[in-house]
Homo-oligomer: A and B are copies of this chain.
Amino acid sequence: MATIRVPAEVPSPAQDSEAINHAFRGWGTDEKAIIRVLGKRNESQRKKIRESYREIYGKDLIDALTSELSGHFMRAVIQWTYDPAERDARLANKILKEKKKSVEKLKIIVEISCTHSPHHLISVRKAYCSLFDLSLEEHIASSVPFPLAKLLVALATSFRYDKDKVDAEVATIEAAMLREAMTKQQLDHDHVLYIVGTRSVFQLRATFAAYKQEYGNTIDKDVEGCHGDADLRSLLQMVILCIDSPEKHFAKVVYDSIEGFGTDEDTLTRAIVTRAEVDLMKVRGEYFNMYNSSMDNAIIGDVSGDYKDFLLTLLGSKI
């Protein structure tokens, strides 16, 4: 389901480090060489290259990339070179450090918390403590207004059971509890928080399905119809989408980032870099189903230069 293409024979991390360093030498940087190496290595290979680069050249590859590359291309390559847990921890921290946190930005915390494996989320929390001297959840609780913080803490601290075992009876009971919260317009009711914050993704999908079957509307639709805190409503809809179908969520992220006038490169980069090794093939399929057009072509038509070549490499193109 990943889209990146790792060659059958991969050079050693030392050889890759040398190739990268060679690309930095002389007048100008050989961006194509950087893409050729880093764009075609998986998570553990990139990790070894970063270690090896530090050993051989005595500096962090991220710093070297920062000084040698520029613009959206630089930012995309750096996001890709970070260890994924470190990348997500840094992304969350950037959002939480902002004085004024828009709900659009807080949705990214939902995305980090709900679209990865439970083990990845734990790694993000470990990276967060190491990098920023406080825990992800204390940063949320102390800097995001309630009741948004309550929902975000519940999501960020989850370690969901990750097998596909589902209890149909629990699904029916908890669909009813969610329905009651909707009817009473209590989106921050404890039951809502604990159901979406602790149940497994598979169990929640069954609960959402039971909700639709029992009450006609999708739960997403009913959340939308609730009064009260628009931001909470918006975050909760995001939770439902991310849990129900991370692929649809990321297809939408890509679409929104390139749709209309101008491109939101940071968002586009986030979606491609985050999912290239996870499920970008499925995201591509969902994109086609949802928008009846090719995601790859849409990206090609919207970006250019080394940035485009890098994204296409992550998308598995033979450029």
Hey, which bits of chain A sit against chain B, CB under 8 A? 118, 122, 125-126, 129, 133-138, 141-142, 146, 149-150, 153, 157-163, 165, 170, 190, 194, 197-200
Identify which of B133, B146, B159 contacts A122 (C-beta below 8 A).
B159
**Minimum CB–CB distance for A115 against chain B, Å:** 18
Interface-central residue, A129, A134, A158, by most chain B CB under 10 Å = A134
Using A141-B194, A198-B153 as known contacts, say yes or no to A159 and B135 having CB atoms under 8 A apart: yes
A135-B159, A137-B159 given; name 18 further pairs at CB < 8 Å: A118-B129, A122-B159, A126-B159, A129-B161, A133-B165, A134-B161, A135-B160, A135-B161, A137-B157, A137-B197, A138-B161, A141-B197, A142-B170, A142-B194, A149-B194, A150-B190, A157-B157, A157-B159
Q: Cβ of A160: which chain B residues have Cβ within 8 Å of it? A: 135, 138
Q: Cβ of A198: which chain B residues have Cβ within 8 Å of it? A: 135, 137-138, 141-142, 153
Using A122-B122, A138-B199, A157-B158 as known contacts, say yes or no to A133 and B163 having CB atoms under 8 A apart: yes
* The 8 A-B residue pairs with the shortest CB-CB distance in the complex, in nearest-first order: A157-B157, A138-B198, A141-B194, A137-B198, A125-B159, A135-B161, A141-B198, A129-B161
A200 B158 Cβ-Cβ under 8 A: no
In the complex, A293 Cα to B258 Cα: how many Å?
73
Could you list some 19 contacts between A and B, CB below 8 A?
Answer: A122-B159, A126-B159, A129-B161, A129-B162, A133-B165, A135-B158, A135-B161, A137-B158, A137-B197, A137-B198, A138-B160, A138-B198, A138-B199, A141-B194, A141-B197, A146-B190, A150-B190, A153-B194, A153-B198
**Minimum CB–CB distance for A114 against chain B, Å:** 15
Q: Cβ of A134: which chain B residues have Cβ within 8 Å of it? A: 161, 200
Q: Cβ of A197: which chain B residues have Cβ within 8 Å of it? A: 137, 141
Interface-central residue, A137, A141, A153, A198, by most chain B CB under 10 Å = A198
In the complex, A56 Cα to B150 Cα: how many Å?
51
In the complex, A158 Cα to B141 Cα: how many Å?
12
Q: Cβ of A165: which chain B residues have Cβ within 8 Å of it? A: 133
Q: Cβ of A157: which chain B residues have Cβ within 8 Å of it? A: 137, 157-159
B159 A129 Cβ-Cβ under 8 A: yes
Q: Write the chain B residue with the least CB distance to A163.
A: B133
Q: Cβ of A150: which chain B residues have Cβ within 8 Å of it? A: 190
In the complex, A159 Cα to B153 Cα: how many Å?
12
In the complex, A269 Cα to B290 Cα: how many Å?
59
Q: Write the chain B residue with the least CB distance to A174.
A: B142
**Minimum CB–CB distance for A252 against chain B, Å:** 28
Q: Cβ of A194: which chain B residues have Cβ within 8 Å of it? A: 138, 141-142, 149, 153
Q: Cβ of A159: which chain B residues have Cβ within 8 Å of it? A: 122, 125-126, 129, 135-137, 157
Q: Cβ of A136: which chain B residues have Cβ within 8 Å of it? A: 159
In the complex, A97 Cα to B229 Cα: how many Å?
37
In the complex, A122 Cα to B120 Cα: how many Å?
13
Q: Write the chain B residue with the least CB distance to A167.
A: B134
A135 B190 Cβ-Cβ under 8 A: no
Q: Write the chain B residue with the least CB distance to A160.
A: B135
